[in-house]
Amino acid sequence: MLHKIKPIIQKLKNPHIVNLIGNAVMSVLNMVQAAILYNYLSPDKTGIWVFFQGTIGLVDTFRAGLITTAFITSYAGTSKERSAEVAGSAWFLSTIITLIIVAGNIIYLFIPYHIADYGTDLFAKWFGLVFIITLPSFLASCIAQAEARFDRLLIIRSVSTLLSIVLILILIATKNVNLMTVIYTGFIAGGTTSLMTVVLGWSRINTIWKKSTTTVKALFSFGKYSVGTALGSSMFRNSDTYIIKFMLGDAAVAVYNLGLRLTELVEIPLRSFAATIMPPLSAAHNQNNKYHVIYLLKKYSGLITILLLPVVVGAILFADVAIWIVAKDYLNTQAANILRVFMAFALLYPIERFMALALDATNQPQVNAVKLIFMLAANIIGDFVGVWLFGNVNGIAFGTLMPILTGMFISYKWLQRYEKFQLWDVYKIGWLETTWLVKDTWGMLVKKKQTNAE
């Protein structure tokens, strides 16, 4: 029995598999947390919670964008002494950034004028504390990624979310659930997770004394080029929320976010493959094998698109059922239509996402940075036109087609300069790879069945 289980365990230890499982687990946990809140907070309060979380994520993108990629490329595969120096330097730089953010928070608390909008005021009062309590877990996550310890990364992320869910359930049981107590649970969960990473040594906080000015400057110099792209990407994701909030209200934010959250079925494989495809893409480019770079782009984006087809069809047909399972009170809203629209557009996500990765792998990150500006502009224009035409969140959902097409067009035109290819080839190769994968898997199952029978 053990010899049968051992190969399965070995496969599960594969970083690609662990990363995929981790993304799937976190998506489920985040959906459970959202489902609870959608059922126990009013739509307007849920909308404020979505806005608060999204804006925290937007501001945190500055720290993450400046540090994460620069840290991983400087830390991975280095000696014990060098890794300690990089970790210490990252700690120092992250602390400086956090202190600057906290200073801005303190200034807001002491000035006599406060923002009238409740959600914005709430963020302005508390974002400094969030950055302090999440600093150790942020750096622990960077270290886990650099060391390819996706199992550890999953623990860090899941402990925070699980603890938050447990605390929210306690609030529900004691009839103390409201917007502020939910936000407080986030503080407690985040602080506890950071404390765990310090106690277990995962954050390597002790290395801060081994920092070097040279490495701090190197991290900053590298990071300043990627932070713009990261901020643009985050702003692109959050722009819908801000436009809906200030044009249609907080309750509309909750409706839109509910439909959007259920598209995690698409994001799970996309995020997982995106994290693992960069090394082979970069390796092919470094070997000056342009054909193989484009082949990998077509293979993975086409394969995922074909595999997504039944998921998309199922989501469109059973959108109302999905909404009923998560939050039945939203059945009479546009949430189900939002889900249908996004799932239909999801078939364009793989090619757009992987062309962007190909641009990074071929040393053209500046194209992605400029492209994000055009995509953000297209998204904002699409949102305003959508609200003008539909007068509700359906217009925002349909408006998201504009930035997707804009991103695809720009990426495709620039990659043509690198190596010419046809977009239709993506789907042809994707179909061939899918059929081969199905046949190979079926063949392995038949062979195993025959072996067991013997």
Stretch 84-102: mean pLDDT, rounded? 93
Please determine, for residue 19, whether its predicted confidence score (pLDDT) is greater than 70.
no
How far apart (Å, rounded) are the C-alpha atoms in residues 165 and 180? 15
Q: What is the pLDDT of residue 260?
A: 87
Residue corresponding to tokens 């049968």:
4
Question: Nearest to residue 366, comparing CAs of 402, 400, 411, 408?
Answer: 411
Question: What is the average pLDDT score of the chain?
Answer: 86
Query: Which runs of E-coded beta strand occur in 307-408?
Result: none
Please determine, for residue 390, whether its predicted confidence score (pLDDT) is greater than 50.
yes
What is the residue extent of each domain of the chain? 12-261, 266-454
Please determine, for residue 5, whether its predicted confidence score (pLDDT) is greater than 50.
no
Please determine, for residue 1, whether its predicted confidence score (pLDDT) is greater than 70.
no
Stretch 405-415: mean pLDDT, rounded? 93
Please determine, for residue 174, whether its predicted confidence score (pLDDT) is greater than 90.
yes
Q: What is the pLDDT of residue 232?
A: 76
Q: What is the pLDDT of residue 108?
A: 92
How sure is the predictor about 227, in pLDDT bands with cuts at 50, 70 and 90? Answer: confident
Q: What is the pLDDT of residue 3?
A: 47
Give this prediction's pTM.
0.83
How far apart (Å, rounded) are the C-alpha atoms in residues 325 and 256? 16
Stretch 35-41: mean pLDDT, rounded? 92
**CB-CB contact of 283 with 361 (8 Å):** no
**CB-CB contact of 352 with 411 (8 Å):** yes
pLDDT, tens digit (0-9, with 9 covering 90-100), for 422-446: 888 888 888 887 788 777 667 666 6
pLDDT, tens digit (0-9, with 9 covering 90-100), for 110-125: 988 889 899 999 999 9
Q: What is the pLDDT of residue 59?
A: 86
pLDDT, tens digit (0-9, with 9 covering 90-100), for 187-204: 999 999 999 999 999 999
Please determine, for residue 80, whether its predicted confidence score (pLDDT) is greater than 90.
no
pLDDT, tens digit (0-9, with 9 covering 90-100), for 244-276: 999 999 999 999 999 888 887 777 777 777 767
Please determine, for residue 130, whether its predicted confidence score (pLDDT) is greater than 90.
yes
Lowest mean pLDDT among 18-22, 101-105, 318-322: 18-22
How far apart (Å, rounded) are the C-alpha atoms in residues 250 and 160? 26
How far apart (Å, rounded) are the C-alpha atoms in residues 262 and 267? 10
Q: Six-digit token pair at 347?
A: 């078939």
Rg (CA), the chain: 23
DSSP string, 255-301: HHHHHHHTTHHHHHHHHHHHHHHHHHHHHHHHTT-HHHHHHHHHHHH
How sure is the predictor about 29, in pLDDT bands with cuts at 50, 70 and 90? Answer: confident
Please determine, for residue 205, whether its predicted confidence score (pLDDT) is greater than 80.
yes
Stretch 301-328: mean pLDDT, rounded? 90
**CB-CB contact of 403 with 236 (8 Å):** yes
Q: What is the pLDDT of residue 13?
A: 55
Question: Nearest to residue 140, comparing CAs of 89, 194, 97?
Answer: 194
Q: How many residues does this entry show for the chain? A: 454
pLDDT, tens digit (0-9, with 9 covering 90-100), for 44-69: 999 999 999 999 988 888 888 888 87
